Amino acid sequence: MKRCLSRLVTWIAVSCLLAVSNQAARAGIPSRGESDSPEGNLAILVNITNPVDNLSLPELRKVFLGERSHWPNGRRITLVMLEPGQPERKALIREVCQMTESDFSRHFLQGVFTGEVLVSPKILSSPAGARKFVFNVPGAIGFVRASDVDSSVKVIRVDGRLPGDKEYGLRIRPRVAE
């Protein structure tokens, strides 16, 4: 009974997330300017105590799709996502998860319902909030612009590269005028 109630609550939360993301996309909510500059790189953050220093893109994808529930040290993974419509979130979903926002939301809705998704994300409204959450939760993983990183968190390498490296692949695309 308790497990069923927990799944129901999670399902309702994911349903609300899907509705909000679809509404934001239809409304054309503006986002902050995106850039190809080094500040336009997406930094993947973990708590300073996390022993992980590098993840391959496929490993990172499994983490952010909730298909991996624990770090190598046994600590539970806690996903941190920014709200729908933010350019950092768009970049993560596009580059890491290789999905659209609606596909991503559908993945979590279906995965929570079927039990295939092991970890549901915590949704935060700002990069500062995401950074603070990662700082306070040892198993957390999140993302922000490279320019929003400070010494309270650790930036991990993706495929052996950091956000300032030339061939780093996680970039926030500039907005195209329509």
Domain assignment of residue 175, yes or no: no
pLDDT at 82 over 90: yes
Residue 36 pLDDT greater than 70, yes or no:
no
pTM of the model: 0.76
Q: What total number of domains does the chain contain?
A: 1
pLDDT at residue 23 greater than cutoff 60: no
**Of 163, 155, 129, the residue nearest 52 (C-alpha):** 155
Residue 176 lies in a domain: no
At 80, which CATH number?
A: 3.40.190.10
CB-CB neighbours of 136 under 10 Å = 10
Give the model's pLDDT for residue 133. Answer: 97
Q: Can you tell me the mean pLDDT for 34-46?
A: 73
The mean pLDDT value for 49-60 works out to: 97
Nearest Cα to Cα of residue 136 among 118, 148, 146, 122: 122
Is residue 148 domain-resident? yes
Provide the residue range defining the domain that includes 136: 2-27+35-158
In a domain, 163, yes or no: no
Confidence of residue 24 (pLDDT cuts 50, 70, 90): very low
- Asked if the structure places residue 165 within a domain, the reply is no
Indicate whether 68 belongs to any domain: yes
Determine the straight-line distance between the first and last CA of the chain, rounded to whole angstroms.
Answer: 51
| Domain-located, residue 114 | yes
Confidence band for 113, pLDDT divided at 50, 70 and 90: confident
Q: Which residues pair with 45 in a beta bridge?
A: 142, 155
In angstroms, rounded to a whole number, what is the distance separating the alpha carbons of residues 67 and 116?
Answer: 7
The rounded distance, in Å, linking the Cα atoms of 150 and 32 is 20
| DSSP 8-state symbol, 146 | G
167 in any annotated domain: no
147 vs 43: CA distance, rounded Å: 9
